Structure 1
Amino acid sequence: MAATILSGAAMTSLAHADVTLYPGNGPVPSINIYLRVDAGLRLDSNVDLSQYNSQTGKTTLVQAGGNDWGTSMFGVYGSSKLGDNITGIYKVESGFNATNGTFNSSTNSIFNRRAYVGLKNQQFGTIMLGKDLFIDNDVYNFDPMIQENMSTATLVYGRNWGGASDMVEYRSPALYGLHLGLMAAFDNGSGYYSTRVSNAYGVSGEYDIGDLSLYGIYDEVQDTHGHYTNLYSASKEWIAGATYNFQPVEFFAGIEGLSAPNGAQADGGTPIQNPGAPYAPGSAGSPYAAVYATSAYMGWLGAVWSVSQHVTLRGAWYHTSINDHGGNASLFTAGGEYSFTPNLLLYATAGEVVNSGHADFSADIYSPPAAPGHNQFAGFVGASIKF
């Protein structure tokens, strides 16, 4: 689904830097390329050393930042006319970290974001096969912080911005303001002799009524045994939200629920873990007990102000509550972008996460956290250039 609510001229202008190498010739596909590089600096306060390097005490970290505002990436896409009413499409896309040159993948694979082919019909919609972002990434459309590292993803440890390999995806055309998306991802079996083929699927919808847009998403991601054993990696998820464009300000609201019916330790569940903590609670070297949970809820409110052609300001509040002694947390964040040229913008974002109980969320999603129940302030600044 097209990201229809990109706010501010900075974001809009960056969307037009693609270069056409070959315009296509009927059945011969076109070739278009693009490249975006994002890098900057990041600060994280009150870092708990026991979860960072298995030492004692706390510290403040200042580090090179890559992908805090948006991932660096490059890609190639195009289309070919196969008939009067049908078009063939393709896209390959890779995300990478500009600070160290590595790809955004645990296996360092090159096309870690998208690699699909498809067929498009103006009347019936588009079907794609291959690899794409998982369907819950549609939350981007009603996230006031556009899924930066301080956004809807932060208090769910990135559960709502995953990828989907071996997938088939359908996107409908607009029908009286309604857009629908369907996706099923196939892992081709969890082992050599496995007969199970599907471990993730979901549906997404958007309904536009003038300046009001309503959104709904439901998906399920299973572990390798077909179970729901962790809130943030193998669970059921539903998301609902709305935006209202009251120019020059757009307002956002949303709620997300997560369920892991097999998440308890007695049911084979795995402990929840902050992705920025190498020494997570319950692991060797950590002084904190592991936390198992079976449900969580998150809600948010926010706004984006398009101040001028060059300036966009945004701010939001997010809150999550986790059962089974998981605690709760609130994230307060604000930032903005200044567009110098159609292809260059500077950005700055700051926020504080307020943890309570056993919660140990980071203010910046992949940064080392504070100790459970303690607050953390973080901020990042940088530049994003699209060629």
Structure 2
Amino acid sequence: MMKKLLLAAAVLPTFSAAAQAQSSVTLYGRIDAGLEYMNGVPTGVGPNGATGSSSRFRAESGDWGTSLWGIKGTEDLGGGNRAVFKLENGFNAMNGAAQGNLFNRWATVGMANDQFGTLLLGRMLFISNGVWDFDPFGQSNWSSASLVRGRNWPQSSNNISYQSPKVAGFDFYGQYSLSNAMSWNGNGTTAQGRQAGAQITYTVPLFQVRGLYDEIRNPNNGSLGGAYNPLNGANGLNQANGNGAYAYSREYTAMFNLFLGQFKVQGGYQAIRTSGMAFQLPGQPTTLDHEWGGVTWQATPAAALIGAVYHVNGNNGAGNATIYSIGGSYNVSKRTLFDLQIATVQNSKGANYGLNANNYGTAASTDNPLRGHSQTGVYAGIQHSF
């Protein structure tokens, strides 16, 4: 009997170690902070919006990339199957404030298999964030999200997503987000309307291309447009989101990466469309055409220089705007880099797009420059990942 007990005691740690080896939990994150100068910042309050402009110098978090932290894990279930989870929150490094809910970016659980793909349920970045891989500035604060007022980087709740394995260079990713309302597309009883999207990517050593379609529906009525109630004035606009095409619309996107040794050439085109909007405001578009292109030169293993141009054109008097930007980064280690970006946005007569992904409107609180005016900024910072 004593021999059996001693044998069991010797074998138990082996089984325990094996069980632990089959599961893992990782704490990870990124802290981005720096100093920012910007001119063309709106000031004053008038019947038609801001009445003047000025310059601003401030400490800023997340200009080069969102400050975030998260926990992710996996458990080996045998037969090539794994249970996976991911929890992630964005925060402001300058004041420590969290963005929205505790896990506002990711809160998912699901199953993964190298042969069959990954199925996730929960809250996650919306599929339009697939632009990130094809944006020369990686969706920094002044890049492909700016001229579509954040349309490229929302989050999505009540989501079901599937990522396929790569087959002959192709892979597929799809999302479907329920409105959780009695009406399938949304009827004003929940915070989110139905959302869905799909993307196909083809990758070879020389180049990569991606096609993406998605739609985000207005939770108030399930439509592809941001209507508002004029009887409520500005409050009605805020209630139903006056961002219109920038918030609730369909998006058709085609993008490419070209790998040429030390150089990477990137570009993309987006067609953003609505189904029309009730009580449409002047300058509030129902269609947007957005394109960009840029080059990254990996001068050394540590130093990268970037140049890019972004352009948008909207109907209904929204006008057009172009962002010209140069910048780069220098990795002082595998986890820490210094970054610099200089950018200017040039607006047509009726347009008021800013460098940041600001909401539609002319109020000083939006941070948009005056109509027809330009806005220029410089950002320098440090980013550490763990």
After TM superposition, the score normalised by the length of structure 2 is: 0.83
Rg larger for: 2
Q: Structure 2: which 5+ runs fail to align?
A: 1-15, 226-243, 359-365
Whether 1:58 and 2:57 are equivalent positions in the alignment is: no
Listed as ranges, the matches of 1:146-185 within 5 Å are 146-185=138-177
Q: Measure the CA separation in 1 of the matches of 2:55 and 2:357.
A: 16
- Contact 2:52/2:370 (8 A) holds in 1: no
Equivalent AA in structure 2 for residue 212 of structure 1? F
Query: What does 1:325-336 align with in structure 2 at a 5 Å threshold?
Result: 325-336=317-328
Partner of residue 68 from structure 1, selected from 63, 67, 84:
63
Partner of 2:232: none
Identity of aligned residues (%): 31
Q: Which has the higher helix share?
A: 2
Q: Secondary structure at the match of 1:25?
A: helix
* Separation (CA, whole Å) in 2 of partners of 1:193 and 1:242: 38
Q: Does 1:34 align with 2:33?
A: no
Q: Provide closer, same or farther for how the CA distance between residues 376 and 174 of structure 1 changes in structure 2, counting only shifts above 3 A.
A: same
1:202 corresponding residue in structure 2: 197
Task: State yes or no: 1:246 paired with 2:245.
Answer: no
Shift of 1:309: 1.6
Residues 329-387 of structure 1 deviation map (CA, whole Å, 9 limit, x = unaligned): 00000111111112211101010000013211112335722201111111111111123
Structure 1 residues 55 and 214: alpha-carbon distance in aligned structure 2, compared to 1, 3 A threshold? closer
SS of aligned partner of 1:161: coil
| 1:178-233 alpha-carbon deviations (Å, 9 max, x no partner) | 01001011131178996999610000111013311111110000001110111111
- Stretches of structure 1 lacking an aligned partner (at least 5 in a row): 1-21, 272-289
Distance (Å, rounded) in 1 between the aligned partners of 2:59 and 2:190: 45
CA distance in 2, matches of 1:187, 1:232: 19
Worse overlay, 28-37 or 220-229: 28-37
Taking the aligned partners of 1:101 and 1:220, their CA distance within structure 2 comes to 33
Match of 1:228 among 224, 227, 241: 224
Question: Letter of the aligned partner of 1:185 in structure 2?
Answer: S
Which structure 2 residues correspond to residues 1-387 of structure 1 after superposition, within 5 A?
Answer: 25=19, 29-50=23-44, 56-104=51-99, 108-189=100-181, 199-224=194-219, 225-229=221-225, 230-263=244-277, 267-269=278-280, 271=281, 290-366=282-358, 368-387=367-386
- Aligned-partner Cα distance in 1 for 2:369–2:294: 25
**CA–CA distance in structure 2, aligned partners of residues 47 and 238 of structure 1:** 32
CA distance in 2, matches of 1:198, 1:68: 29
Whole-angstrom CA distance in 2 between matches of 1:253 and 1:382:
26
Q: Distance in 2 between matches of 1:51 and 1:33?
A: 45
Q: What SS does the aligned partner of 1:169 have?
A: strand
Aligned residues: 341
- Give the residue type in structure 2 aligned to 1:249: F
Larger relative contact order, structure 1 or 2 (CA cutoff 8 Å, min sep 6): 1
Report if the CA contact (8 A) 1:24-1:31 is conserved.
no
Counterparts in 2 of 1:198 and 1:127: CA distance versus 1, 3 Å: farther
Distance 1:116 1:295 in 2: 33
How many angstroms apart in 2 are the aligned matches of 1:193 and 1:109? 21
Is the CA contact 1:334–1:351 (under 8 Å) kept in the aligned structure 2? yes
CA distance in 2, matches of 1:26, 1:240: 44
User: Once superposed, what is the RMSD of the aligned Cα atoms?
Assistant: 2.5
What is the deviation of 1:23?
A: 9.5
Residue identity opposite 1:376 in structure 2:
Q
